[in-house]
Amino acid sequence: MKKLSILFVALIISSCSSSDSSENPSTTQTDIASVDSKVTAFMNLYNIPGASLAISKNGKLVYVKGYGKSNVETNENVTVNSRFRLASLSKTYTGIAIMKLIQDGQFTLESPVFGTGGILGNDYGTSPYNSNLLNIKVKHLLQHTSGSWGSATGGDVIDQNPSYTYQQLFDWILNTRPNPNVPGNTYDYTNVGYNLLGRIIEKKSGKTYINYIKEDILAPIGVTMTDIAGKTEAERKANEVKYYGQGNDASFVYTIAFPRRDADGGLMSTATDVLKLITAADGFTTRPDILNQASITAFTTPSSAYSGYANGIGIWSAENVWFNYGSLPGTRTAFMRHNNGMCVALLLNSRADPSANENPFVYAMQDLVLDFVKNSSYNWQNIDQF
């Protein structure tokens, strides 16, 4: 591991030049040494080959930069156009899409999901359903309070039977996985619930999940670099970085059940395009929002079961931020939106090995992003690179 660390340090130092001004011909960004040094120090400490950072202030993209390597073996640098797996940041996209369908009158947060009169009806599994399943509402899936399919409520089985279609997967889940808790009472994070939200989006929009995200959520705000991530290294898409697993992660980087894991963790994008979405659903007047104020209020209102999570977005009241994090083998991502008008997205193509003690890495990344949104000492330029 020492040899790997030395290699990454050398690569990062050699490739952290500023973004080519030709990529942003209408603006001139001046590098901020204190920002760059903090990012590279974090990368060096935790053996991160490549990172992409985007920072906005009052709706303007004031800093965007790639650091390190998108591909170590071919010596390719991360650029502002490099695309990264978003992992669970995808849930924020799904939450916004659900809120848009609600805003458009398709259903409500209180709409039942399963059974006669439910959005998905009897599409999956074998009826009659048990009472806990019948009582699951849209809000329970969004808020991770379905009472089912989390680590404490039957197990998150999203990656099991990877060859299954959605029909086969949810037939199997509804028929064989328990629903031990009454919905609404217990926060238990589950990818299964968000994958079901993807099926709700498809049923009510008449489009595939990714097409609804692209056409109805992202195209109106000028986002063009978002797609479903490839599963294998050979299936990497244009400008997609290569992912690097550390320790036990190494053998799982390219075994994740993409593209099936679309709505819960399957999207990929650039840091800039992540911020285009966040600043179009942030409740500020600096850029037009795709959700109205009532929808944004509902989107960011936590459940009674857990005050730290709303409808696809984390709520950190003590720090005045909305946020979300993503984590998969070879991937770690984060964004924060502060009440002061600052927003930050940071995307990595590696993470610390979760089977070891990953907490120092997790908290260091959180502290780094939090510093960028709340530290008033940075001299952000009055430019807009969106």
- Amino acid in the structure at residue 31: D
Q: How far is CA 95 from CA 3, 23, 216, 360, in A?
A: 42, 31, 13, 29
Place 7 in a pLDDT band, splitting at 50, 70 and 90.
very low
Contact 249, 330 (CB under 8 A): yes
pLDDT tens, 215-237?
Answer: 999 999 999 999 999 899 999 99
- C-alpha span between 231 and 158 (Å, rounded): 15
Contact 144, 192 (CB under 8 A): no
Structure-model confidence comparison of residues 10 and 190, the more confident one: 190
Residue 33, class by beta-carbon neighbours within 10 Å (0-12 exposed, 13-18 middle, 19+ buried)?
exposed
- Amino acid in the structure at residue 172: W
Q: How far is CA 300 from CA 200, 323, 334, in A?
A: 20, 10, 17
Superfamily of 87-318 according to CATH: DD-peptidase/beta-lactamase superfamily (3.40.710.10)
- C-alpha span between 71 and 272 (Å, rounded): 20
Q: Is the pLDDT of residue 16 over 80?
A: no
- Amino acid in the structure at residue 351: R
- Contact partners, residue 239, CB within 8 Å, separation at least 6: 79, 81, 82, 83, 225, 270
Q: Tell me which H or E stretch contains 77.
A: strand 76-77
What SS3 class is residue 334?
A: strand
- C-alpha span between 292 and 180 (Å, rounded): 36
Geometric angle at alpha carbon 156, from 154 and 159, rounded to 5°? 135
- C-alpha span between 45 and 246 (Å, rounded): 13
User: Token pair for residue 123?
Assistant: 């599409």
Place 3 in a pLDDT band, splitting at 50, 70 and 90.
very low
Percent of the chain with pLDDT over 70: 93
pLDDT tens, 306-359?
Answer: 999 999 999 999 999 999 999 999 999 999 999 999 999 999 999 999 999 999
- Contact partners, residue 348, CB within 8 Å, separation at least 6: 43, 48, 50, 51, 84, 331, 332, 333, 365
User: Token pair for residue 26?
Assistant: 């209408």
pLDDT reported for residue 18: 39
Place 380 in a pLDDT band, splitting at 50, 70 and 90.
very high
User: Token pair for residue 218?
Assistant: 């992202």
pLDDT reported for residue 59: 96
Geometric angle at alpha carbon 164, from 262 and 166, rounded to 5°? 50
pLDDT tens, 48-92?
Answer: 999 999 999 999 999 999 999 999 999 999 999 999 999 999 999
User: Token pair for residue 185?
Assistant: 């009472």
Nearest Cα to Cα of residue 155 among 143, 134, 172: 172
- C-alpha span between 100 and 106 (Å, rounded): 9
Place 24 in a pLDDT band, splitting at 50, 70 and 90.
very low
Please tell me the pTM assigned to this model. 0.93
Contacts 24+ apart (CB under 8 A), 24-28: 24/64, 24/80, 24/385, 27/383, 27/384, 27/385, 28/383
Contact 142, 97 (CB under 8 A): no
pLDDT tens, 105-139?
Answer: 999 999 999 999 999 999 999 999 999 999 999 99
Nearest Cα to Cα of residue 86 among 222, 277, 289, 249: 277
- C-alpha span between 235 and 318 (Å, rounded): 42
Q: Tell me which H or E stretch contains 175.
A: helix 166-176
